[in-house]
Structure 1
Amino acid sequence: MKKSGILMIIGSALLLGLFIYPLWNIQLEAPQYPDPLGMNIYINGIQGEEEFDIQNIDGINHYIGMKKIPTPAEMWEFNTFPIVIGGMAALGALLGILGFFRIIHPNWFLGWLILMTFLGILGMMDFNNWLTDYGTDLDPKAIMKLTDSEGNPLSYKPPLLGSQKILNFTAHSYPRAGAYLMFVGMLLTLVAWWIGKKANETMAK
């Protein structure tokens, strides 16, 4: 159980990387922008990859009626996610310490992983809902009103994952370092549970 407890502590601690590194990245690539415009999405806000990227993206979006990139004060998620991630990291570390001293069963590690997976799925669903609202809730007084062949307003929703053509832009949406650290951390907690489970079975024989 000592090895599994240490792995649990390390795995949950990797979540703290989300306070340093971006969780996701969206880039807009077009012929008129040799260097793509990009924004890094952190758990507590959105920042441009370059100094004026957010300003330029907002300028482009203004013509087709899209909202400005939200500030942390405008989205409850940017205040809630840091609390959730910090709480899960602290809980995971506590479970790891208790597991190290054989106070709890390794199934607690699995329970933490299930809860973290559930929260991660909720987070991705919320992110996708925001992208949908961001790309479809357009200002009716926009300078440019583009429609499809049936006369319906076009959707400018960036993809949740992958690349997609939007007008003359290609939008790229992919995870970044923070997400990879979180995935590795969750994988370590799964390994911690497996090792702890095997250790308990060996001791029971």
Structure 2
Amino acid sequence: MKKASLIMMIGPLFLLGLYTFPLWTIMLGAPQYPDPLGIHIHIDGIRDVNEFDIQNIDGLNHYIGMKTLPKPEEMWEFSTFPMVIGVMIALGVLTGLLGYLKKVNYKWFLGWFVLMSVLGILGMYDFNAWMVDYGTNLDPNAIMKLANPDGTPMTYKPPLFGHTKMLNFDVTSLPATGAWMMFIGMMLTLLAAFIGWKNRKAMSIEKSKIYATS
């Protein structure tokens, strides 16, 4: 159980990377932009991939009626997510420490993984909902009003994951370093739960053998 507990303490610490590295990256490439425009989405705000990218993206979006990219104070998520991640890191390390002291078992490790997974899914749902609003809630007085072939207003929602074509832009949305660090940390906690379960199973088998021979 000690090995599992040590892994459980290490796993959540990978989430500290979210305070430094971006969680997600969206890139926009077009013939008139040899260097693609891009934004890094951090847990506490949106930042340029290259200098002036946000300014240039907002300038392009103005013509089709999209809102400017939100500043940290304009979205509650950017103040809440850092606190949630901090709580989950502390809770994960504490759970591992209690496991090391034999106060809790592997089920608590699994419980942390499940809770973090649920929070991650909710975060992705919220992120996607923001992108839907960002790409469809357009200014009716925009300079350019484009429509689909069926006559419905064109929307500009970036993909949650993968690539899409919007006008003459190739838009790619993919997890960034912070997301991969979070993934590794979560997999370590799942590994800790598995090792804890195997240890408990092995102990149960040993006890059964002792009872059988006594």
TM-score in terms of structure 1 length: 0.98
Name the structure 2 match of 1:15. Answer: 15
- Structure with bigger gyration radius: 2
Aligned partners of 2:7 and 2:69: how far apart in 1? 38
Aligned partners of 1:172 and 1:194: how far apart in 2? 35
Aligned partners of 2:19 and 2:191: how far apart in 1? 24
Aligned partners of 2:12 and 2:130: how far apart in 1? 27
Is residue 63 of structure 1 aligned with residue 41 of structure 2? Answer: no
Offset at residue 8 of structure 1 (A): 0.6
Name the structure 1 match of 2:152. Answer: 152
What are the residue-to-residue correspondences of 1:20-169 with 2, within 5 Å? 20-169=20-169
Q: 4+ runs of 1 displaced by more than 4 Å?
A: none
Q: What whole-Å deviation, never above 9, does each CA across 1:92-149 have from its counterpart, x for those lacking one?
A: 0000001111111110000010010000000000011011101000000000000112
RMSD: 0.7
Q: Which amino acid aligns with 2:79?
A: N
Q: What whole-Å deviation, never above 9, does each CA across 1:22-77 have from its counterpart, x for those lacking one?
A: 00000000000000000000000000111100000000000000000000100010
Q: Which amino acid aligns with 2:128?
A: N
Offset at residue 150 of structure 1 (A): 2.2
Name the structure 1 match of 2:183. Answer: 183
Aligned residue pair count? 205
SS, match of residue 95 in structure 1: helix
What are the residue-to-residue correspondences of 1:186-205 with 2, within 5 Å? 186-204=186-204, 205=206
Q: Which amino acid aligns with 2:121?
A: I
Q: Which amino acid aligns with 2:26?
A: I
SS, match of residue 194 in structure 1: helix
Aligned partners of 2:138 and 2:42: how far apart in 1? 25
Name the structure 1 match of 2:212. Answer: none
Q: Which amino acid aligns with 1:107?
A: K
Aligned partners of 2:10 and 2:36: how far apart in 1? 36
Q: Which amino acid aligns with 2:168?
A: N
Offset at residue 198 of structure 1 (A): 1.3
Aligned partners of 1:3 and 1:192: how far apart in 2? 8
State the identity %.
Answer: 60
Aligned partners of 1:170 and 1:136: how far apart in 2? 18
Unaligned regions of 5+ residues in structure 2, if any?
Answer: 207-214
TM-score in terms of structure 2 length: 0.94
SS, match of residue 138 in structure 1: coil
